[in-house]
Structure 1
Amino acid sequence: MIELTNITKTFQTDKGTLTAVDSVNLSVRQGEIFGVIGYSGAGKSTLIRLLNGLEKPTAGTVTVNGQEISSISGQKLRNARQKVSMIFQHFNLLWSRTVAENIEFPLEIAGVAKEQRKKRVLELIELVGLTGRENAFPSQLSGGQKQRVGIARALANEPEVLLCDEATSALDPETTDSILELLVDINERLGLTIVLITHEMHVIRKICHRVAVMEAGKVVELGNVLEVFQSPKQQITKRFVAQITESGDSIETVSKLLSQFNTGKLIKLIFVGDRTEQPILSRLIRNFDVEVNIAHGNVSHTKGGAYGTLILHIDGKPELINQAIQFLHDEGVKTEVLTHA
């Protein structure tokens, strides 16, 4: 669906040449929700602007659904942009227009007949859950409602790709979750390909199928979200994953737990996918004459399945402790001995 081949984008500044995107290769599949995560200055916003032709690459090609966006201009580019819509962090609504008029605006520009426009607007208002608010002005809406208007407007011309540039960063956590659920519903109902730019791992975890991690203009890590959660390779990726799992893995937490136990072993377990739902601990306690205490744990859910971490204190005879740890390993649970108490 989307192919970025050796994409580089540079800008000339007072301090010289700035490389915002550096030799990036990416492929986004039809119908998936693809996340791009990075801190400020990583190049992710420039990357998303390359996808709809708002920026031209200095080198490389951008292809969307078979059309090379990076090499067209004028009317061809304007036509292509109708199939690649975008929603923004700060909504970008027309404040003098009602909800319905905001959604209708791109249809007016496209020359769609008035009767068709009205019908399409009503469909979109229902789709995004704003029935009854069609005559309200943006100043009368909550942040979440404003973003729903932005989403409906972006869908007006039936795009093939929806780009989301920090679309939930201005929202509170509860509203963020409702918008993410709406994006998932749209993705599943319409088969729409979504590319989502964010600096929040919670957003990636909740709705994305795959993720690219950007740093200094480069994609430093790429993979299925569950795999990235399970085994982050780059230091920056580990920092993002820690946004979700930090409470059980931080040095402070582990140090505190170590100070509580004078014997036995402290074991960190990582469960992935179906393993989070298996009664492995009950079998461990039943089969081995050891004392097992759950010291800390949490479970995160991704589109690809669940990912859980659990810290256990296992006490008893050394040989039985080792057998119990081997049992966990044999059951497919990744284990790490944090210390010998």
Structure 2
Amino acid sequence: MISLKDISKKFSTKQGTIVAVDNVNLTIKQGEIFGIIGYSGAGKSTLIRLLNGLEKPTSGQIVVNDKEITSITEDKLRQVRQKVSMIFQHFNLLWSRTVAENIAFPLEIAGVPKEQRATRVKELIELVGLEGRGDYYPSQLSGGQKQRVGIARALANRPEVLLCDEATSALDPETTDSILDLLISINERLGLTIVLITHEMQVIQKICNRVAVMENGQVVEEGDVLEVFQNPKQPITKRFVSQVSENAQAQQTIQNLRELYPNGKLIKLVFVGDQTEQPILSRLIKQFDLEVNIVQGNVSHTKSGAYGTLILQIDGDALAIDKAILFINEQKVHTEVINND
């Protein structure tokens, strides 16, 4: 569906050359929801603009729907863009137009007859859950409703790819969940490929099949969301995963326990899928003469299955602790000893 090969994008400034995207290789499958996560300045916004030809790469090749878009003519690029739509963080609606007129706008540009436009707009209003609001203006809508208009407008020309540029970061958590549920529904009902960029791991967790982590213009880690949650390799990925699996209170508790039990060990257990339902902790306490404190526990759900973390403080004989860790690993539960520094 989408292939990026050795893609780089450089910008020349008075201060010198900025490498926004640095030798990125990605393959995005048809019909999946693919997440690209990174902090500000990571290069993710530039990358998504490369996917619909709003930016041209300095080097490399981009293929979308079997069309190599890095060297085609402007006329052919416009045809490709009709099948690659985008929704934005701040909605980008036309404030002087009603909901229906905003949704109809790309159809007008494409020369679709008036009657066909009206039929399509009605379908889209129902699809995104805005029945009865076709005559409203954007100023009369909530943030979530505005984004629903943006989604409907992006779907007007029946695209095959939907690009989402921080589409929920301006919304409150409850509205974010409703928009993400809508995107999942659209993906399943229409078979639409969705590429979503964000700086929030909760968004990746809820909606994405696979994820690429960007830092300094590079993709530093990539994989199935559940696998990345289970075993993040790069420091930045671990930071993102901790947004979901840990909290500030747990971190303070960890620090306090390090001071109280300098000879004990803090162990992070990672459960995936059916492992989240196993009584690992009760077995551990029964089989080993150890003092076990639960620091923090959490179970999250991704599109690929459940993901759980449990942080334990274990105090006792060093050999017994090592045997306990070996026992946990034998249950196919990933363990990580949290450093005491």
Same fold (TM over 0.5): yes
Verify the 8 A CA contact 1:248 1:254 in the aligned structure 2.
no
Matches of 2:262 and 2:235, distance apart in 1: 32
8 Å contact from structure 2 (residues 257, 313) kept in 1: no
* Alignment-derived partner of residue 236 in structure 1: 236
Hey, what's the Cα distance between the residues in 2 that align with 1:259 and 1:289? 22
1:82 pairs with 2:82? yes
CA distance 1:323–1:9, shift in 2 (3 Å):
closer
**Matched residues in 2 for 1:339 and 1:137: separation?**
55
The CA deviation string for residues 40-75 of structure 1, in whole angstroms up to 9 with x for no partner, is: 111111111111111111111111010111112332
Specify whether residues 24 and 295 from structure 1 end up closer, same or farther in structure 2 by C-alpha distance, changes over 3 A only: closer
Q: Cα distance, 1:246 vs. partner?
A: 3.0
State whether structure 2 residue 27 is matched by structure 1 residue 27.
Answer: yes
> Aligned in 2, Cα 1:336/1:57: closer, same or farther, shift over 3 Å?
closer
Q: How does 1:114-263 map to 2 (within 5 A)?
A: 114-247=114-247, 251-259=251-259
1:206–1:80: structure 2 CA closer, same or farther, 3 Å change rule? Answer: same
Q: Deviations over 1:269-328 (max 9, x none)?
A: 221222112233344445556665433211222222222111234567777655544332
Match of 1:305 in 2: 305
Relative to structure 1, the CA distance from residue 339 to residue 16 in structure 2 (aligned partners, 3 Å threshold; closer, same or farther) is closer
Percent identity over paired residues: 73
What are the residue-to-residue correspondences of 1:285-296 with 2, within 5 Å?
A: 285=285, 292-296=292-296
Q: Aligned-pair distance for 1:3?
A: 0.5
Compute the TM-score of the two structures, normalised by the length of structure 2. 0.92
C-alpha separation in 2, matches of 1:132 and 1:260: 61
The aligned counterpart of 1:41 is: 41
> CA-atom RMSD, angstroms?
2.3
Q: 2:332 matched to which residue of 1?
A: 332
**TM-score, with length taken from structure 1:** 0.92
Structure 1 residue 335 displacement after superposition: 2.7
For the residue of structure 2 that corresponds to 1:40, the secondary structure is coil
Distance in 1, Cα, partners of 2:104 & 2:27: 32
For residue 168 of structure 2, give the secondary structure of its aligned residue in structure 1.
Answer: coil
1:268 alignment counterpart = 268
Q: Does 1:94 align with 2:94?
A: yes
Q: Structure 2: 5+ residue runs without aligned partners?
A: none
- 2:312 match: secondary structure: strand
Helix, strand or coil: the match of 1:34? strand
Structure 2: distance between partners of 1:291 and 1:112: 71
Tell me by how many angstroms 1:259 deviates: 4.4
CA distances 1:155-206 after superposition (whole Å, capped 9, x unpaired)? 0000000000111111111111111111111111111000011111111111
1:68 is aligned to 68
Q: Distance in 2 between matches of 1:57 and 1:261?
A: 54
Counterpart amino acid of residue 280 in structure 1: I
TM-superposition CA deviations, 1:200-231 (whole Å, max 9, x none): 11111111111111111111111111111222
**Residue pair 1:248, 1:296 contacting (<8 A) in 2 also:** no
Give the length in aligned residue pairs. 340
Unmatched 5+ residue regions in structure 1? none
Tell me how far 1:252 sits from its aligned partner: 3.1
Decide whether aligned partners of structure 1 residues 130 and 293 sit closer, same or farther in structure 2, where only a CA change above 3 A counts.
same
Moved more, 129-138 or 10-19: 10-19
